[in-house]
Structure 1
Amino acid sequence: MNLLAAALLSVSPFVFAKTPVETSPIREVSGFISAPIIIGMESVFTEEEDVVTADIPYETEYEENKEEEYGRELILKEGKTGTSQRYFKVTLWRGEEISREFIREEIEPPVSEIVSLGTKIVWRDLPTPDDGVLSYWYKISATSTAYTPYCPGCSGRTFTGSTAGRGSCAVDPSVIKLGTKLYIPGYGICKAEDTGGAIRGNEIDVCFPDDETAVRWGRRSTEVYLLTNNP
């Protein structure tokens, strides 16, 4: 065997040769080699099929229910996650992948979840120790954090332009509308006047006039009663 050709064949599946090159006891090739090379009786090229599976999340669709109390959800139909299977032909050279060809995709589509969402407003009385009997139309569970008007990042003014102080609170407007009056047990009545970059979902910041009272409140779980701005 030509020594240069033998050296090239040991490192690459593709070889240019001017003279016939013997690649094994059973095969002789010349010129540009594009077919699988046989070493002994074993091909250095192999092909296999690879299947890549991924979940397709289902969506939730809401149907208004005027007979159910606001915020109540009832699952009418369970959702089902779909799947995607992508098939590939993979070519290997001595066990290492050198090419991947997409063949087909099989999809099992997801099934949407159907939820009944109550929209009926029901007013209830709430006896309080300091503010008498209040009427509320909705209650949420939230995490509350104390702050002061001049804490780091605070300007002393709220998002709506009022002066921050006791009775001001910061909310996520997508959950509680700005301008809504709220009652928080242990704090009292406050008004949603402010927002904050870290306030997302059922988070609420309540304002205190000084660090001492703010530290005593700290961060805690609480119920928040909505007194105004019903839909």
Structure 2
Amino acid sequence: MKNIIIIAGFLIVTLLTGSVYFNPFKGNVKILVDGKIVEADVKNCTVYDVLKEKKLSLEIQDIVSPSLNTLVTDGMMIKIQRVKEANITVTEIVKAETVRIWDKNLNINEIVDLQNGIDGFLEKEVKVRYHDNKEVWRKVFNISNQKKPVNRVVIQGTTKAKRMYMMTKKMTVVKVYSLLATGYYPGPEDCGPYADGLTANGMKAGYGVCAVDPKLIPLGTKLYVENYGYCIAADTGGSIKGNKIDLCFDEYKDSSTYNPKYVKTYVLK
């Protein structure tokens, strides 16, 4: 009668004699855990048995490769990845954008910073997962706080026309008035027979100068007036008191057709 041999794991059974023989396995394995390599001499066992013998504890989220029920082999490398999760708060800066307002009353080289930009922010609640203290995954689950950015606003000219008075550099708004605006021509039609074409502070009158109340706006102040453009407070007038401004034009037809209106007047520096 032939011998019938059944191999089951590490157990060899010979049915001829009814005897049971063990073919014991012995070997060495390495365990990579917490940045170190631990060696173990093992017999017939699983990965779980090796870790238990070496008293290496596991958390429920830890990853073991190969799996715990795998039978060990000589020279096997067992890897344990420590898995942790944490909730953190992350602040993300939201950059302010620049909005440009194009103005035909300004030369292409004239720029006014009308409003400074202010960055906003988002505070995010984030779940982060780490494998052996290295981030491998994150997910935002809540926005806890936020502030919208304030856009920077810039006024920039579009005309190539040269005027008597023009900005020599980019300027910034420091104050704003709402003034009742009128128009005047520096000739005798508006200023009488003795008009000499000069302003109160001796500048040549023309487009780009204006009359103001010096008690409100000192002479020499540089201004940007909506729907007019850049001008210098250089003149005064008997009827220009308080919140009034008189805008100078190069042609009588322009001053005579200028309808009085309230305009935003920006003080520049």
Q: TM-score, normalised by structure 1?
A: 0.42
From the CA coordinates, give the structure whose radius of gyration is larger. 2
